[in-house]
């Protein structure tokens, strides 16, 4: 069985979990990373792929405000199946995944995939200091057990939680746009890697395009990207306290 991991993962949580699952099924698994846009002549080039019934695909998406990120869902639209078995994974920062998992189910089924299992997994939240060590070893071990059962089973019997119609609008832009300090060396890594194309030639962040994934903060080698504002610090402290209680992963087979 040829296995492919398809994911949108700005800070690596989703990638880590989905690739651990794919590795458990196929040591030679392939990846399709939808995170950073592929561009030609300044325009984004959509990913176009088609899978057969002999393939197995693991889809991984983060949860932003209870939905899939709008641009991530759009990039997924070019991936098609032909009654291709799949597993769905959403990762979230310890609050809740709301309607994101049923949204992913609807998208994948409409594009020709057959869902054999679904999971809602906790990872480090973008904001504050929330579940900073997750996914941990126990999480990944449970992920592997789940995907093996899903791949060997004959279908999805559990009801995936969520609302139809979805209760929230997909998030177009984020609440916080990172700043750029004088430490910036102009290396261009942030601009090249930004999922939303929100960083300009001057390496400043366009708040109207930014999805607040904080990828640029995590990867900046000079530590120039930051959220060093009182408004963010206050929010992050409040959010850290609010989401302090550990949530457990949920698996549906």
Q: Crossing angle for the helix pair 137-152 and 13-25, nearest 10 degrees?
A: 50
Q: Which helix (H) or strand (E) holds 3?
A: strand 2-7
**Residue of 220, 227, 149, 234 whose CA lies nearest to 185:** 220
| Residues 195/8, Cβ–Cβ less than 8 Å | yes
In the chain, which stretches have pLDDT less than 50?
none
Reading the block at residue 165, the tokens are: 């119609």
pLDDT at 45: 87
pLDDT score of 171: 85
Burial environment of residue 240 by CB neighbours within 10 A (0 to 12, 13 to 18, 19 or more): middle
- Predicted TM-score (pTM) of this structure: 0.96
pLDDT, one tens digit per residue, over 147-175 is 999 999 999 999 999 999 999 999 888 99
> H-helix or E-strand containing 87?
strand 84-92
Cα dihedral sign, 15-33-119-210: positive
Alpha carbon 129 to chain centroid distance?
A: 18
* The pLDDT of residue 40: 76
């Amino acid at each position: 069985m040829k296995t492919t991991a398809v994911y949108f993962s700005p800070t690596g949580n989703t990638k880590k979990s989905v690739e651990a699952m794919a590795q458990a099924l196929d040591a030679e698994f392939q990846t399709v990373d939808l995170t950073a846009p592929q561009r030609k002549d300044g325009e984004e080039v959509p990913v176009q792929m088609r899978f057969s019934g002999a393939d197995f695909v693991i889809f991984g998406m983060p949860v932003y405000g209870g939905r899939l990120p709008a641009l991530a869902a759009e990039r997924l639209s070019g991936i098609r199946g032909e009654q291709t078995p799949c597993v769905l994974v959403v990762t979230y920062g310890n609050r809740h995944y709301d309607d994101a998992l049923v949204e992913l189910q609807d998208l994948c089924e409409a594009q020709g995939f057959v869902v054999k299992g679904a999971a809602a997994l906790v990872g480090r939240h973008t904001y504050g200091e929330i579940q900073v060590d997750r996914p941990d070893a126990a999480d990944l071990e449970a992920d592997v057990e789940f995907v093996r059962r899903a791949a060997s089973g004959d279908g999805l019997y559990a009801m995936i939680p969520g609302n139809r119609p979805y209760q929230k609008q997909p998030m177009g832009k984020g609440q916080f746009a990172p700043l750029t300090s004088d430490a910036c060396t102009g290396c261009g890594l942030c601009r090249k890697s930004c999922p939303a194309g929100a960083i300009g030639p001057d390496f400043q962040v366009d708040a109207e395009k930014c999805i607040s994934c904080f990828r640029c903060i995590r990867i900046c080698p000079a530590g120039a990207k930051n959220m060093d504002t009182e408004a963010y610090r206050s929010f992050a402290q409040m959010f850290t306290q609010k989401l302090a209680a550990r949530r457990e992963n949920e698996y549906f087979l």
